[in-house]
Structure 1
Amino acid sequence: MIEHGFKSVLFLCLSNICQSPIAEAVCRKLVADQDVSDNWVIDSDAISDWNVGCALDPRAMSCLKNHDISTAHKARQVTKEDFATFNYILCMDENNLRDLNRKSNQVKNCKAKIKLLGAIDSFKQLIIEHPYYGNDSDFELCSSSVSCCRAFLEKAH
């Protein structure tokens, strides 16, 4: 349960081993750099249950390491409780958005604002493409979600 007064964001993608844990780790670093970590609860989830309990894709881990960011995140699937406890659920593409909106309709006390992460930063790409079938440069593009996370944190203050 998230304590009252905290701001909270949940990043979400299909399997929680690439895009959303990268966004989570980037956002954690940004709030740590701003010395406001104590005010935030930041996590990431998957729509699917395919990789629950798995570590990040090694290419995602390598990408984060190249930016001096570390994480010990293990994949998990979004729950009904997440919709009731997080202030924001930010997803990577239209399929995630559609699935999230469908799931949120099944939650009586949904408080989360559900949006595309890419929609927050109007100067960048709306969709944060899934890098899994790509190469290292595709993971690097995914890590560009840093500008979206920065824009989100500015608007959430």
Structure 2
Amino acid sequence: MSLPEPRDPAGPYRISVVCLGNICRSPMAEKVLTAELDRAGLTGTVEVTSSGTGGWHIGSGMDERAAALLRAQGYATDHTARRVEPTHLAEHDLILAMDRDNLENLRRLARGHTDLGDRLRLFRAFASDTGPEPEVPDPYYGGEHGFATVLDMVRAAAVGLTTELAARYDSGQDEEYRGGRTHSR
């Protein structure tokens, strides 16, 4: 899957990860993707943010179940939920929804933005062997197992996306990362 060209070739490549409330899936994806980018030597070359299509949790921290799982795996958990705004669409090179409903919400928000083209995608499409429109399910109303499943899905997509970004930016990634192979946390 090819990446859209950067809006500003002189600036960082900007990615936004989007779910419904911005307290579970998208902040997990933001933290995991940021860690993978750091491991690949792309810190500063690629920036990642997250937001939600709904406004219920604006200003809240990450869901404690998501934060506990990330902490246990050595990931950062600092987060303040925010809602995606129409201006965010024009500020990012790639906007990745966690599921089809949020992708449709983003497409509605993007009406009139003719330059978005292939910038709106599903995040999990970057994981290998996931099918044509793979989704990351919302774990909010489930138990701990759902969050662990989401983390596995997010990790696979983050590795796939980072591999593509590393190839684009020739990051000089270390031997351990080359080809999407990462060391375990």
Same fold (TM over 0.5): yes
Per the alignment, residue 99 of structure 1 pairs with 105
Q: Give runs of aligned pairs for residues 1-157 of structure 1, distance below 5 A.
A: 4-107=10-113, 110=116, 113-124=119-130, 126-144=134-152, 145-156=154-165, 157=168
Deviations 1:116-146 (A, max 9, x none): 1112224247110100011111101111111
RMSD: 1.8
Structure exhibiting the larger radius of gyration computed from Cα positions: 2
SS for the counterpart of 1:68 is coil
Deviations 1:38-86 (A, max 9, x none): 1111000000000000000100001101210012110000011111010
Distance 1:134 1:93 in 2: 17
Q: CA deviation at 1:108?
A: 5.8
TM-score by length of 1: 0.91
User: Bigger CA drift: 104-113 or 10-19?
Assistant: 104-113
- One-letter amino acid matched to 1:116: L
CA contact (8 A) 1:16 1:51 kept: yes
Aligned length: 156
Q: CA deviation at 1:8?
A: 1.1
SS for the counterpart of 2:138 is coil
TM-score by length of 2: 0.78
Q: CA deviation at 1:88?
A: 0.5
Ranges in structure 1 where 5+ consecutive residues have no aligned partner: none
